Amino acid sequence: MRFDEEFFNLGYIDRLSYKETFIHNIDARVKLVIVILYIISVISYSKYTVSSLFPFLLIPVLFMTLGEIPVKFVLKRLVVVSPFIFFIAIFNPLLERNIAFYIYGIPINYGTISFISIIIKFVLTVSIIIILVATTSFAGLCYALRYFKIPEIFVNQLLFLYRYIFVLTEEAMRMIRARDMRSFGKKGTELNFYTKLAGSLLVRSINRAERIYYAMLSRGFNGTMPYNRKREANIKDFIFLFAMLLILFFFRFFDPVNIVGKFIERII
């Protein structure tokens, strides 16, 4: 039931994104900037970096808990999308076998280290994106994109697309249920049937677009979409941005793992 799962997932994230928490209330532009810088910081480490990446976990954890996003949900998403990256990364330990060091006599090769590094980077970058959309309304994100000068046609397209994904997936789901009800076992999921189903969904969609266009015209549509979402960033947003930038900077350039480690070593 891949379809239903995906659909409800989108709906679930959508509902999460309308919660009212500290993180949800932070300006979308601020969150977007932080997330992009975060991803670049994580990705910019060399392929053999492992421990320096650990501190970066703090930020998703912070967002997640403050934003009241269930950990289970994020973990589930991570598992669902992992196969491709796993498939690519698994070759590293097999192909790069130079020994880096030994742990209790067990040789660890460079490939294994880079494999672990890829997986950690994957976990960090994917979870921060999921958390971003689960804590920010999509309309808010699009507003942020427009603010950052992404072409308007594209931003409008995103909003339109997002609006009608819910309508059309529901329509598709009704059609699939009708199909599944009448297809016992495999029959009915064949290509031939699929094209008819998709084809008629397409024809219906185009008819719908025409009706929407009519509705838009009757309310004075003249080619531009007047999205008028204005939100002034407040002092809280600025403080949050500043604090996060500071933390990112510290994590990226001062390697807290090393500092903490040395400190503890000295104490011991």
Q: Which of 99, 106, 140, 102 is nearest to 231 (CA)?
A: 140
Spell out, one character per residue from 174 to 213, where the chain touches another protein: x when CB under 8 A holds, - when not: -xx---------x--xxxxxxxxxxxxxxx-xx-xx-xxx
Q: Does 234 bind another protein (CB under 8 A)?
A: no
Furthest-apart CA pair in the chain: how many Å?
A: 77
Least Å distance, CB 242 to another protein, is 19
CB of 220 to another protein, least distance (A): 3
The packing angle between helices 110-135 and 58-66, to 10°, is 20
Provide, rounded to whole angstroms, the least separation between the CB of residue 229 and another protein: 7
Q: Which of 33, 73, 147, 225 binds another protein (CB under 8 A)?
A: 225
Site residues for another protein, 68-107, by CB under 8 A, read 68, 77-78, 80-81, 84-85, 88-89, 91-92, 95-96, 98, 100-101, 103
C-beta neighbour count of 238 within 10 angstroms: 12
Which DSSP letter does residue 88 get?
Answer: H
| Per rule CB under 8 A, count of chain residues that contact another protein | 141
Strand partners, 31: none
Using CB under 8 A as the binding rule, the residues of this chain from 5 to 64 that contact another protein are 6-7, 9-10, 13-15, 18, 35-36, 39-40, 42-44, 46-52, 54-55, 57-58, 61-62, 64
Cα(125)–Cα(244) distance, rounded to whole angstroms? 16
Closest-CA residue to 62 (of 22, 32, 116, 14) = 22
Q: State which residue, 138 or 240, has the beta carbon closest to another protein.
A: 138
Residue 20: exposed, middle, or buried by beta-carbon count in 10 A (0-12, 13-18, 19+)?
A: exposed
Shortest distance (Å) from residue 222 CB to another protein: 6
Please, which of residues 110-169 interact with another protein by CB under 8 A? 110-111, 113-114, 118-119, 121-122, 125-126, 129-130, 132-133, 137-139, 141-142, 150-154, 156-169
Q: Are strands 106-109 and 99-103 parallel, antiparallel or unpaired?
A: antiparallel
